[in-house]
């Protein structure tokens, strides 16, 4: 079974600074997808960024980018120019691409605080 680990329960960053959230995962599969979801106090789960394991290029979405290290099974999220609205719980998630309609497995989450 796949597992996802987020070793940082809490992180904080100053507004306009850069912060990196860590995620590691364990799998024996070679084809899969990785995601970062954001959950603000409204509790809505919002997809931030996705990465296909077969792609070597790291995904980027505006101020959000990932550092995907397949061999190390590491998938960190970098938030540049942090804004107050980035404050939220961030979840790393794994999904197999080898099984159609497979589940998302989530990490424990990292609570990000943005200080003005």
Partner 1 sequence: DAGVIQSPRHEVTEMGQEVTLRCKPISGHNSLFWYRQTMMRGLELLIYFNNNVPIDDSGMPEDRFSAKMPNASFSTLKIQPSEPRDSAVYFCASSFRGARGYTFGSGTRLTVV
Quickly list DSSP for 90-106.
EEEEEEESSSTTPPEEE
Instruction: Say how many residues touch partner 1, by CB under 8 A.
Output: 23
Task: Decide: is 106 part of the binding site for partner 1 (CB under 8 A).
Answer: yes
Which residue matches tokens 């099984």?
A: 99
Task: Decide: is 63 part of the binding site for partner 1 (CB under 8 A).
Answer: no
23 contacts 11 by C-beta, under 8 angstroms: no
Task: Decide: is 44 part of the binding site for partner 1 (CB under 8 A).
Answer: yes
Task: Choose the binding region for partner 1 from 11-19, 29-37, 55-63, 70-78 (rule: CB under 8 A).
Answer: 29-37
What is the end-to-end Cα distance of the chain in Å, rounded?
41
Which residue matches tokens 């990000």?
A: 112
Which C-beta is closer to partner 1: that of 20 or that of 105?
105
Interface with partner 1 by CB under 8 A: which residues?
33, 35, 37, 42-45, 47, 50, 52, 91, 95, 97, 100-109
């Amino acid at each position: 079974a796949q597992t996802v680990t987020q070793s940082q329960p809490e992180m904080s960053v100053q507004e306009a600074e850069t912060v990196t959230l860590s995620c590691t995962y364990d799998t024996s599969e070679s084809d899969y997808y990785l995601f970062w979801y954001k959950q603000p106090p409204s509790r809505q789960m919002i997809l931030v960024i996705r990465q296909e394991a077969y792609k070597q290029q790291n995904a980027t979405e505006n101020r959000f980018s990932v550092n995907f290290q397949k061999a190390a099974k590491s998938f960190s999220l970098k938030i540049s120019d942090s804004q107050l609205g980035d404050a939220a719980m961030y979840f790393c998630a794994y999904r197999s691409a080898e099984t159609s309609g497979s589940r998302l497995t989530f990490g424990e989450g990292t609570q990000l605080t943005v200080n003005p």
